[in-house]
A and B are shown apart, each in its own frame.
Chain A
């Protein structure tokens, strides 16, 4: 028998998971499928993690509407889900009279979009706030309501809350095609067998145009894959910047930023280049060089001595330049979110709230009476007070074993990650949920230990533990097997 769900969501990124969570409030079965081996495997894990205030989007666009609405939801959403979020503010810096005109345009847009408290500053005023800024900065736009968030941790929390309330997640499952069925509903073909559903919801990121075009041949959409490359620096003793520092935006995006992260690292990037392969998340020398060239304009004293890692993410840029959100034209029962690039993260909560309400109304979904309350994950050991640490170890001695020395992550936290509603099954999944391996040694010390704990907790043999699913094996054989094989031969 085929798999069935009332609502099938393709794509377990921040938008798909936020929608899954909203739709779990109704009396329907909801399934989420994703080709990745974890949620947030696409753009949701590899972006700037900025909750944009909303000064950049063209007034009247969906980007403007959802960005401002979404940004206003972040503080309470992150608080209720225990997701790190900080309203650190932003500066958009300019180096010329031309840039100043751009900043004035952004200020005007921001005012029209309803962004509060913005202010144009002189170069001196900007440097008084951020002393590490380039002396060549002549003007800046101060945006106090800009924020930072951990985008993948937000996605995990949304997914966990959805899963607690009945949504099923089917990871490592790639949808190849979707078609409407003659008697209503849809059939989605996957590499793990077909799925049937009554309502099809396309949140497939870089693949979202593929499914749109299968369902709506008359008005096809076109997605460009726009890769952004980043540097992530180790936590400095004194953060070089308190706020996110943007340069003036261009046709390719919001430009290269220098930003603190919610975990105290420093993020540099992204580059912007259009590529052909939506899965090619490699970093390139030219891409990294282009990031550094721009970063030096903002921050002349930047040093890569403390670089921890480089990564890239791929934004789904729709030709129109705006989000495409709503029912698929001429295809009853199908809904979509296409072209969700920046400010997609900032917009996700508002997109989900709005689209779920529209789906519920159109499809006559009945609300559930009860909801399983979300249990925030325990505070990370490293953030506990000594008394809390003592108490945590007393209750669970596994808090007394530090597995990741760089980030001070305990065995108990790794065990917890393996047993969350959407459980961590891979080294990278543990890393993104706990930060084990996120630090300056990049898992050199802890990855063998994490693999052993993961194997014990999940029952997956150590030899089959992967970095990130699929064929990403850590190990290729054991000495014991080799000895036994030779003895039998």
Chain B
């Protein structure tokens, strides 16, 4: 089977065709890329696409929410789970920038960290 991928690495936006093994889903070939970065991206997107997630979470006793992110990208298919976990989170001041506010979110092994200080 084949999959169409638009490269995001630069404004050229190469349209790449990735051929996958029907059984193993292993990447057999990438066509349409103009650089190696594109090829790597296509392979990653077809095997284990990853995304950073950023959000804000409510702060107890404050009108201004706290901005947070995943400390590293998580599998794209886990986005709904992670957002669900974040929707249920309320944090308490103080929090420093980079501080973990939710460890190992949804068992991904990735922490949710604050992206600004909260005094």
Partners in one complex: yes
Contact in complex: A486, B88 (CB < 8 Å)? yes
B56 at the interface (CB under 8 A from A): yes
Contact in complex: B88, A487 (CB < 8 Å)? yes
Contact in complex: A480, B87 (CB < 8 Å)? no
Give chain B residues whose Cβ lies under 8 Å from the Cβ of A484: 90
Q: For B84, B88, B89, B90, which residue has the most chain A Cβ atoms within 10 angstroms? A: B88
Contact in complex: B88, A479 (CB < 8 Å)? no
A456-489 vs B, CB cutoff 8 Å, 1 = contact: the mask equals 0000000000000000000000111011101100
Interchain CA distance A486-B87 in the complex, whole Å: 7
Chain B residues 60 to 75 lying within 8 A of chain A, measured CB to CB, are: 65
B78-115 vs A, CB cutoff 8 Å, 1 = contact: the mask equals 00000010011110000000000000000000000000
B58 at the interface (CB under 8 A from A): yes
B14 at the interface (CB under 8 A from A): no
Q: How many of A's residues come within 8 Å of B, CB to CB? A: 8
Contact in complex: A483, B89 (CB < 8 Å)? yes
The secondary structure that dominates the A interface is: helix
Q: How many Cβ-Cβ contacts under 8 Å join chain A to chain B?
A: 21
Nearest residue (CB) in B for A488 is B88
Chain A residues 267 to 308 lying within 8 A of chain B, measured CB to CB, are: none
B20 at the interface (CB under 8 A from A): no
Contact in complex: B88, A483 (CB < 8 Å)? yes
Interchain CA distance A209-B43 in the complex, whole Å: 72
The secondary structure that dominates the B interface is: loop
Smallest Cβ distance from B58 to chain A, in angstroms? 4
Give chain B residues whose Cβ lies under 8 Å from the Cβ of A482: 87
A121-154 vs B, CB cutoff 8 Å, 1 = contact: the mask equals 0000000000000000000000000000000000
Q: How many of B's residues come within 8 Å of A, CB to CB? A: 9
Interchain CA distance A154-B84 in the complex, whole Å: 52
Nearest residue (CB) in B for A481 is B58
Give chain B residues whose Cβ lies under 8 Å from the Cβ of A483: 57-58, 87-90
Interchain CA distance A213-B84 in the complex, whole Å: 59
A154-193 vs B, CB cutoff 8 Å, 1 = contact: the mask equals 0000000000000000000000000000000000000000
Give chain A residues whose Cβ lies under 8 Å from the Cβ of B87: 479, 482-483, 486
Smallest Cβ distance from B116 to chain A, in angstroms? 16
Give chain B residues whose Cβ lies under 8 Å from the Cβ of A487: 88, 90
Nearest residue (CB) in B for A479 is B58
Interchain CA distance A232-B12 in the complex, whole Å: 41
Nearest residue (CB) in A for B59 is A480
Interchain CA distance A478-B84 in the complex, whole Å: 15
Q: For A482, A483, A484, A487, which residue has the most chain B Cβ atoms within 10 angstroms? A: A483
Smallest Cβ distance from A485 to chain B, in angstroms? 9
Interchain CA distance A486-B90 in the complex, whole Å: 11
Contact in complex: B56, A479 (CB < 8 Å)? yes
Give chain A residues whose Cβ lies under 8 Å from the Cβ of B57: 479, 483
Chain B residues 35 to 70 lying within 8 A of chain A, measured CB to CB, are: 56-58, 65
Interchain CA distance A487-B89 in the complex, whole Å: 8
Q: For B56, B87, B89, which residue has the most chain A Cβ atoms within 10 angstroms? A: B87
Known: A480-B90, A486-B88. 9 other contacts (CB 8 A): A478-B58, A479-B57, A480-B58, A482-B87, A483-B57, A483-B88, A484-B90, A486-B84, A487-B88
Interface residues of A (CB under 8 A from B): 478-480, 482-484, 486-487
A sample of 21 inter-chain contacts (CB < 8 A) reads A478-B58, A479-B56, A479-B57, A479-B58, A479-B65, A479-B87, A480-B58, A480-B90, A482-B87, A483-B57, A483-B58, A483-B87, A483-B88, A483-B89, A483-B90, A484-B90, A486-B84, A486-B87, A486-B88, A487-B88, A487-B90
Top 7 nearest A-B pairs (CB, nearest first) are A480-B58, A486-B88, A479-B58, A483-B58, A486-B87, A483-B90, A487-B88
